[in-house]
Amino acid sequence: MNSPAIADIKVHHPPGDLAIWVFILAELLAFGVFFTTYVVTRMHNVALFDEMQLTLDRNAGALNTVFLIAGSWCVARSVAAIKLDHRAASARWLLWGILAGGGFLVVKLFEYSAKFEAGINLATNTFYMFYLSLTFFHFMHVILGMVILLAVWLKAHRGGYSAADHHGLETGASYWHMVDLVWIILFPLVYVMR
Amino acid sequence: MQYKSQSVAKLYFIAAIGLFVAQILFGLVMGLQYVMGDFLFPHIPFNVARMVHTNALIVWLLMGFMGAAYYLVPEESETELFSPKLAVLMFWIFLVAAALTVVGYLLVPYAGLAKLTGNDLLPTMGREFLEQPLPTKLGIVVVALVFLFNITMTVLKGRKTSISIVLLLGLWGLAIFFLFSFYNPDNVVKDKFYWWWVVHLWVEGVWELILGAILAFVLIKVTGVDREVIEKWLYVIVTLTLITGIIGTGHHYYWIGTPEYWQWWGSIFSALEPIPFFAMTLFAFNMVNRRRREHPNKAATLWALGTGVMSFLGAGVWGFLHTLAPVNFYTHGTQITAAHGHMAFYGAYVMVVLTMISYAMPILRGRAANSNKAQVMEMWAFWLMTVAIVFITLFLTAAGILQVWLQRIAATPMSFMDTQDKVALFYWMREWAGVVFLIGLLVYIWSFFCKGEDKTAA
Amino acid sequence: MAGTFTTSMARNIFFGGTIFFLLVFLALTFQNEQIIPQRDQRAQLAANPAIAAGKKLWETNQCIGCHTLLGEGAYFAPELGNVYKRRGPEFIKAWIKTQPTNTPGRRQMPQFNFTEQQLDDLTAFFKYVSEINTSNWPPNIEG
């Protein structure tokens, strides 16, 4: 169904509720300050950071990047689908997005358990303080993002969204993209950049 | 006054102002003891004056919050209070308990008071701000629970607005976090760690919900801006407050034996704590600019705007000043902390309670607003007290910077007491600013008795 | 698309965000509890009952009303978290015994009439606190 609402959506920026954007900006600010602190601290401890970085599981990080990008893509498909009023498809895509998030969590938990078995915690050294803090803070965001997507999916599944009204879906999707975006900065910064 | 039961608020407000006076008088005693060390010694040692000063502040703010809740909730819920009798009863219990506690502080040596009040059963006394004897602490819990029951039942039987939800959440949080005052392990690190769950999670957490709710209520009333608009901004502001403030607790965990990761987490999140205060300032001014009526109570509007500005300065700016771990390493436990404490408490909590009193008291006394003359006097009091606190803060900041320099940074550091002698001039100036504050407070009280042509009846 | 800023969404975000950050804080607290045994001298505390007795004396005489301990308290009198290292046990005991100085105009500390046993408990407490790992705070011995 090609409703005039589609034209409307194009002029409405940003997508989703303004309240979530205040929240997203606050979160990005927190992450931004955290990243900046990481970069500055690293400049003073290059040797330690470079050495410790090699102990990270870069493959797991890369796999997780794929999971999150795929997840974001699924959620974007879901929004596109609802704009065409394909309600069932929209809900299905959301489920795939949640699944991708679940994949991220599983990989991350394997990574964490290896670190914890090695006796690493927030007091190990400055690098691991940052590694654990940043990834854990992000990890929690993935969980929160999944909870939000799940709530949105529950409504989508019941056919609660339509081409004319999918405010909640776009709000949830915006948050999920933020979670993805943060990882796309975090991964190269902590795992790769030397 | 729309609901008869709102009138119980009046008792609370009057007692709050009474305790406010006590707080300031003992503050002046302490200020003088800073420069004339043996003043009133041994009758009122510094520690006793300080207990009265801080505990009176806490109790009168709590009284103010309770009065505000009793006034605000019936109006928000559009129903009479669940039990006005219970509210009056709790008021007297609270007042008598507070008075007995102060008398105990002043007349009995603290160790004797501890023995007398059964501190051995469950040692909770002797920790900063939580000096109250066990019976007082239990009394606070009982009064708080009965109060919460009363307020919650009122909300449940009436209209549920965002303002009353945020207020209730703040008040419940207040009661719940107070329970940590009963946890006092021998391990100093753990003792200090959970002590902050009362202190920080009160003033930089749940109290801010109360503040936001009261401010939003008064803004709706004096500006006539749509409730819808004010309520959603209230939610946004309290969200920002809690997402920065909860982990911001970490800025107290730098040097008390807790692990070093708190230095990072605490610095990062508390550095963001000024944002909600800034948002609140913008919010207050924005709403007043968009006002859709000219409320006759100009003084209340002034207090509301003042709360926005001064809480941002005191809690936001002066908090940020020493919140980063590398700075705090040098400033921790100096007059800088005292400077921040004074302006933050005044700007955020004193002013919001006075905002509510300013708005509600004339109505409780049967008129929409006080006479022009009384309002002018009240505004004089506003400026006297506010300017005085700004100067108290500036002088303490100067003393603090000098103290940090002489005692902690200089190549040959001075001892604590030698440093104190060097900064005595600033303590004298602080004391004089304190006298101005007292004058402001007296003018404020005087404004209640000022006759003049009343504005339209409520 | 009506209502790009709704009260209900703001409310949901408030509740969700608050619970979320509370959980993160609790996780950090959990980690805190795991790490502090390496820093808080709990073995000493368990081995020597005088420390707990000293802490109780510290509390029931409201020392925090004038002094700071690890930077927290009133700022009227010297920091005592490191007083054991600054002055040593004998000086501390002698000092407490001779109070007040009654020097005109000077800040006065009350006389608490402690027994020798109590003075030993207090110094044990100060020794314990001075050995807590405070990340090298205070910046120097003057506190």
C12 Cβ contact list (under 8 Å, min separation 6): none
Q: Which domain holds residue C20?
A: 8-38
Q: Are A8 and C1 in contact (CB under 8 A)?
A: yes
In this predicted structure, what is the pLDDT of residue A15?
84
User: What's the mean pLDDT in B63-71?
Assistant: 98
**Does residue C117 share a domain with residue C71?**
yes
Provide the shortest C-alpha distance from residue A166 to chain B (in Å): 20
The answer on C57 and C22 residing in a single domain is: no
| The overall pTM is greater than 0.80 | yes
The pLDDT tens digits for B114-127 are 999 999 999 999 99
Percent of chain A residues past pLDDT 90, beyond the cut: 89
Backbone angles phi, psi at C79, to 5 degrees: -65, 135
Burial pattern B50-61, b for ≥16 Cβ within 10 A else e, equals: bbbbbbbbbbbb
State the nearest Cα–Cα gap between C130 and chain A, in angstroms.
21
Condensed to tens digits (0 to 9), the pLDDT of residues B402-431 reads 999 999 999 999 999 999 999 999 999 999
ipTM beyond cut 0.95:
yes
Beta bridge partners of C68: C73, C79
Q: Would you say residue C45 lies in a domain?
A: yes
- Min Cα distance A141 → chain C (Å) is 8
**Phi and psi angles of residue A83, each rounded to the nearest 5 degrees, phi first:** -65, -25
- Residues C28 and C70 occupy one common structural domain: no
Is pLDDT at B355 greater than 60 in this prediction? yes
End-to-end CA distance of chain B: 6
CA atoms within 13 A on the CB side of B21: 12
Q: Which pLDDT band holds residue B458 (cuts at 50, 70, 90)?
A: very low
Flag whether A11 is in a domain: yes
Q: Does residue C21 share a domain with residue C57?
A: no
* Residues B245-268, mean pLDDT to the nearest whole number: 97
Tell me, what's the pLDDT at B456?
54
Quick one: C75 and C133 in the same domain? yes
Closest-CA distance, C20 to chain A, in angstroms, reads: 7
Please identify which residue in the block is written with the tokens 């002590």. Answer: B195
pLDDT for residue B451: 81
Q: Is residue A76 part of a domain?
A: yes
* Structural domain includes residue C122: yes
CATH number assigned to the domain comprising residue C118: 1.10.760.10
**Considering the domain boundaries, does residue A100 fall inside one?**
yes
Q: Is residue A52 part of a domain?
A: no
In a domain, C29, yes or no: yes
Peptide bond preceding A15 in cis form (omega within 30 of 0): no
The yes-or-no verdict on residue B36 having pLDDT over 80 is: yes
The pLDDT tens digits for A141-175 are: 999 999 999 999 999 999 999 999 999 999 999 99
Residues of B within 8 A of A33 (CB-CB) are: 268, 271-272
pLDDT for the residue numbered B454: 59
pLDDT band at B455 (very low <50, low <70, confident <90, very high): low
Residues of A in contact with B245 (CB under 8 A): none
Query: Are residues C98 and C63 part of one domain?
Result: yes
Note whether B408 contacts C60, CB cutoff 8 Å: no
Question: What's the pLDDT score for residue A29?
Answer: 96
Q: How confident is the model at residue A16 (pLDDT cuts 50, 70, 90)?
A: confident
pLDDT over 50 (residue A2)? no
Nearest to A183 by CA among A90, A101, A64, A85: A64
Average pLDDT score over chain A: 92
Structural domain contains residue A69? yes
CA dist., res. B377 & res. B375, Å (int): 5
Residue C5 confidence (pLDDT): 87
B246 in contact with chain C, both atoms CB, cutoff 8 A? yes
**Does residue A74 lie in a domain region?**
yes
Average pLDDT over residues A19-25: 93
- Considering only the beta carbons, identify the residue of C1, C17, C35 that sits closest to A122: C35
- CATH code: domain of residue A109: 1.20.120.80
Q: Give the number of domains in chain C.
A: 2
- Specify whether C44 is located in the same domain as C33: no
Please tell me which residue of chain B has the smallest CA distance to C142. Answer: B415
By CB neighbour count within 10 A (0-12 exposed, 13-18 middle, 19+ buried), where does A76 fall?
Answer: middle
How many angstroms separate the Cα of B326 from the Cα of each of B137, B348, B351, B404, C136?
36, 26, 32, 13, 12
Same domain, C82 and C121: yes
Domain that holds residue A133: 5-44+62-192
Give B271-324 pLDDT, tens digit per residue: 999 999 999 999 999 999 999 999 999 999 999 999 999 999 999 999 999 999
Q: Would you tell me the crossing angle of helices A126-157 and A18-44 to the nearest 10 degrees?
A: 160
Residue at A154 is within a domain: yes
The rounded Cα A13 to chain-centroid distance in angstroms is 21
| Best residue of B234, B238, B264, B320 to probe chain A, by most A CBs closer than 10 Å | B264
Q: Which two tokens stand for residue B108?
A: 């009995």
CB B77 within 8 A of CB B60: no
Within a domain: residue C62? yes
Amino acid (one-letter) located at A106: V
Interface membership of C36 toward A (CB under 8 Å)? no
**What is the distance between the terminal CA atoms of chain A, rounded to a whole angstrom?**
51
What's the confidence (pLDDT) of residue C118? 98
pLDDT, chain B, mean: 96
Residues making up chain A, counted from first to last: 194
Percent of chain B whose pLDDT exceeds 70: 99
Same-domain check for residues C61 and C130: yes
Segments of chain C scoring below 70 in pLDDT: 1-3
Residue C2 maps to a domain: no
Per-residue pLDDT, C4 = 82
Q: Per-residue confidence at A14, pLDDT binned at 50, 70, 90? A: confident
A 10 A CB-CB count for B405 gives: 16
CA atoms of B299 and B301, how far apart (whole Å): 5
Q: Determine the Cα–Cα distance for residues A41 and A126; give it in Å rounded to an integer.
A: 8
The verdict on residue C64 lying in a domain is yes
Residue B51, φ and ψ in degrees, nearest 5:
-60, -45
Reduced to 3 states (helix: H, G, I; strand: E, B; else coil), residue C79 is: strand
Residues C69 and C27 in one domain: no
Question: How many structural domains comprise chain A?
Answer: 1
**Closest residue of chain C to B236, computed from CA coordinates:** C10
Which pLDDT score, from 0 to 100, does residue B1 have?
Answer: 81
The beta-carbon neighbor of B126 closest among C32, C60, C137 is: C60
Same domain, C74 and C44: yes
Residue B141 near residue B178, CB atoms below 8 Å: yes
In a domain, C57, yes or no: yes
